[in-house]
Structure 1
Amino acid sequence: MKLLHIDSSILGENSVSRKLSAAIVEQLKKKHSNLEVDYLDLGTKDIPHLTGAILLGQDVEQSRLGEELVDQYLAADIVVIGAGMYNFSIPSNLKAWVDRIAVAGKTFKYTAEGAVGLATNIQKAYIASSRGGIYGDSSPADFQEAFLKQIFNFTGVTNIEVFHAEGVNISPELKEKALQETLEKISHI
Structure 2
Amino acid sequence: MANILHIDSSPRGDRSISRALSYEFVTSWKDTHPGDTVTYRDLGRNPVPHVDEPWIAGAFSSPDTHTPELQQAIKVSDTLIDELLAADRLVFGVPMYNLNIPSTFKAYIDQIVRVGRTFTVGANGYQGLVDNSKKVLIITSRGGSFPAGTPSGAYDYQEPYLRAILGFIGLTDVTFIHAENLNMGDDAREKSLAGAKDAIAQAVTNW
TM normalised by structure 2 equals 0.85
1:19 corresponds to: 20
Aligned residue number for residue 55 of structure 1: 56
Tell me which of 153, 156, 163 is aligned to 2:170: 156
Q: 1:29: Cα distance to partner?
A: 2.1
SS in 1 for 2:190: helix
Give the deviation of 1:63 after TM superposition: 1.3
Note the 1:140-155 alignment, pairs <5 A: 140-155=154-169
- Which residue in 1 is equivalent to 2:181? 167
For the residues of structure 2 that align with 1:186 and 1:21, how far apart are their CA atoms?
A: 9
- The Cα RMSD (Å) is 1.6
Question: Secondary structure of 1:14's partner?
Answer: coil
1:76, 1:122 within 8 Å by CA — same for their partners in 2?
no
1:18-68: CA deviation from partner (whole Å, max 9, x where unpaired)? 122122223332443321000010011131211122221255434111110
Structure 1 residue 169: deviation in Å?
A: 1.6
For the 8 Å contact 1:74–1:122, the answer to whether it is kept is: no
The counterpart of 2:75, out of the listed 64, 71, 92, is 64
Provide the C-alpha distance between the structure 2 equivalents of 1:108 and 1:28, rounded to a whole number of angstroms.
30
The partner residue of 1:101 within 101, 112, 121 is 112
Q: TM-score, normalised by structure 1?
A: 0.93
Give the letter for the 1:169 counterpart.
N
Unaligned ranges ≥5, structure 1:
none
Q: Could you give the per-residue CA deviations for residues 73-128 of structure 1, whole angstroms, max 9, x where no partner exists?
A: 11110001110110011000000000000011111111211211111165200010
Shift of 1:183: 0.5
Partner of residue 182 from structure 1, selected from 191, 196, 200: 196
Shift in CA distance, 137/19, structure 1 to aligned 2, threshold 3 Å: farther
8 Å contact from structure 1 (residues 6, 39) kept in 2: yes
Letter of the 2:126 partner, please give it: A
Partner residue, 1:88: 99
Residue ranges of structure 2 left out of the alignment (5+ in a row): 59-68
**In the aligned structure 1, how far is the partner of 2:39 from the partner of 2:162?**
19
Q: Does the CA contact (< 8 Å) of 1:117 and 1:154 recur in 2?
A: yes
Change (3 A) 1:32 1:121: farther
The answer to whether the 8 Å contact 1:4/1:80 transfers is: yes
Q: Determine the C-alpha separation between the residues in 2 that align with 1:87 and 1:176.
A: 22
CA distance in 1 between counterparts of 2:16 and 2:148 reads: 21
| 8 Å CA contact retained: 1:77, 1:121 | no
How many angstroms does 1:171 deviate by? 2.1
Count of paired positions: 189
Same amino acid, percent of matched pairs:
38
**Residue 42 (structure 1) aligned with residue 79 (structure 2):** no
